[in-house]
């Protein structure tokens, strides 16, 4: 039988937890090592399945990969040669598409199958290819994607949407292109900023980091570098919700306060108010957990959007948190049309949720949750089910936990250190 979690809920969690490095920064930065003429040492890399898959893709291309410490990896891509990407590995993660930009910039061609990853709705790749075409690439789409460029040249590019991975691919290709590239309507999430800063550490010239306009002076030779990945603000949001739903007291250290502004604003509307001192965030026990209505007593709405708006990847765990708060909340998930389909599992555990359509749900709380047998449909919904199981009375079984472990490093043992009763069963 595939691995599963056995969870006994109803106990407040207490203690200090260190957030893992940002998965969504680690994956593009690992892809970017293809541009470096020498080894790149990366610290605070999460030991998760998606990272293992990206490292396997790099190794299959000829890179030398070695873990030099628990969360530090050295990647030397000088021996990488152009070849079609392994379709089996690409099917495991959507981030395989991030190899398109650096492979194209270095070798002038790349062949890759359609990427895999979470099934949370349509996740278009048009933005990637439209940007790469404007830099000089030709794109052929069939069973595989074939990209060819005799030489990349800087361009003034307006992305048709602020796609995170589309921005990252365009950034890496623009670094290898001759001349200046202006990238407009770009994504600026913390993980995109981390990629840009790592490229700068490797020798790239990039201005506008943190904004939606990047200016890249390409054609510079990139060399060896060392870089530390920032803490995962998505995981931090999950831990805030975890403390709230179990009525526990959890300290999260370190955090980047500027990465959490929209997340903290959303939790404040639910009556959950963490306090931050320096890089330490604390969620005290006995939070109010009361949803604040809009002016005039209207039902408030929580919606996600591109940075710096509320992150889509925090929505699933916030939904679980809202079920434990007094009041009514309208959730508007604008980014992915299948992300809310996991709420039927919460309803089965006792949550009062009305799924209005693929993008909207109304939550009325608080609702006592009871243990149940559920599964993890994707990374973020899986973590949300883990929160629900820890908040529920009784025992829950969570199947398909490989999805959770794609994005959360050793989450079962880390939660046990906070007092959670979570056991991983492999047979």
- Catalytically active residues are 118
**Cβ contact 376:424 at 8 Å:** no
Place of tokens 């056995």: 6
Q: Which of 21, 13, 26 is nearest to 55 (CA)?
A: 26
Sort 103 into a burial class: Cβ within 10 Å, 0-12 / 13-18 / 19+: buried
CA angle 217, 201, 314 (to 5 degrees): 95
Four-residue CA torsion sign, 372, 375, 380, 386: positive
> What are residue 157's DSSP bridge partners?
183
Query: How far is the C-alpha of 128 from the C-alpha of 237, rounded, in Å?
Result: 28
Strands 327-332 and 360-365: antiparallel
Give the whole-angstrom CA distance, residue 19 versus residue 280.
11
Helix (H, G, I), strand (E, B) or coil at 248: coil
What CA–CA distance (Å, rounded) separates 248 from 404?
Answer: 22
Up-side HSE of residue 294: CA atoms within 13 Å toward CB? 7
DSSP label at 151?
A: -
350 Ramachandran zone, left/alpha/beta (phi>0; psi -120 to 50)? left
Spatial strand order of the sheet with 327-332 comes to 301-303, 327-332, 360-365, 352-357
| Cβ-based neighbour number of residue 312 at 10 Å | 20
Going by C-alpha positions, the residue among 248, 280, 272 that lies closest to residue 19 is: 280
Long-range contacts of 262-267, Cβ-Cβ distance < 8 Å, separation of 24 or more: 262/308, 262/309, 262/310, 262/311, 263/233, 263/236, 263/237, 263/310, 263/311, 263/314, 265/310, 266/302, 266/310, 266/314, 266/318, 267/240, 267/241, 267/318, 267/321
Q: What size, in residues, is the chain?
A: 427
């Amino acid at each position: 039988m595939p691995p599963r979690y056995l969870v006994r809920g109803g106990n407040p969690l207490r203690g200090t937890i260190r957030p893992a490095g940002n998965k969504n920064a680690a994956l593009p930065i690992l892809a970017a090592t293809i541009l470096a003429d020498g080894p790149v040492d990366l610290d605070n890399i999460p030991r998760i399945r998606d990272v293992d898959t990206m490292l396997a893709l790099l190794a299959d291309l000829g890179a030398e990969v070695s873990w030099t410490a628990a969360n530090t990896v050295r990647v030397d891509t000088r021996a990488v040669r152009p070849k079609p990407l392994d379709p089996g590995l690409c099917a495991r993660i959507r981030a395989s598409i991030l190899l398109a930009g650096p492979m194209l910039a270095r070798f002038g061609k790349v062949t890759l199958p359609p990427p895999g990853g979470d099934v949370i709705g349509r996740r278009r790749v048009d933005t990637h290819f439209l940007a790469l075409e404007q830099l000089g690439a030709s794109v052929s789409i069939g069973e595989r994607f074939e990209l060819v460029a005799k030489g990349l040249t800087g361009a003034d590019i307006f992305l048709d949407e602020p796609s995170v991975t589309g921005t990252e691919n365009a950034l890496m290709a623009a670094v290898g292109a001759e001349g200046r590239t202006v990238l407009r309507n770009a994504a600026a999430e913390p993980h995109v900023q981390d990629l840009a800063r790592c490229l700068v550490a490797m020798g790239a010239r990039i201005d506008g980091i943190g904004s939606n306009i990047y200016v890249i002076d390409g054609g510079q030779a990139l060399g060896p570098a060392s870089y530390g990945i920032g803490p995962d603000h998505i995981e931090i949001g999950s831990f805030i919700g975890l403390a709230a739903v179990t009525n526990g007291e959890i300290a999260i250290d370190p955090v980047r306060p500027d990465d959490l502004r929209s997340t903290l604003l959303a939790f404040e509307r639910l009556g959950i108010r963490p306090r931050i001192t320096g890089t330490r965030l604390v969620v005290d026990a006995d939070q109010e957990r009361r949803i604040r209505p809009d002016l005039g007593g209207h039902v408030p709405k929580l919606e996600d959007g591109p940075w710096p708006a509320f992150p889509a990847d925090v929505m699933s765990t916030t939904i679980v948190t809202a079920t434990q708060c007094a009041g009514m909340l309208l959730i508007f998930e604008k980014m992915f049309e299948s992300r809310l389909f996991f709420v039927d599992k919460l309803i089965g555990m006792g949550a009062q949720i009305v799924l209005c359509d693929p993008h909207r749900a109304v939550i009325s709380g608080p609702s006592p949750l009871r243990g149940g047998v559920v599964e993890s449909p994707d990374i973020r919904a899986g973590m949300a089910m883990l929160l629900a199981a820890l908040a529920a009375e009784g025992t829950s079984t969570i199947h398909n936990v490989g999805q959770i472990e794609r994005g959360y490093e050793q989450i079962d043992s880390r939660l046990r250190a906070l007092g959670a009763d979570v056991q991983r069963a492999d047979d």
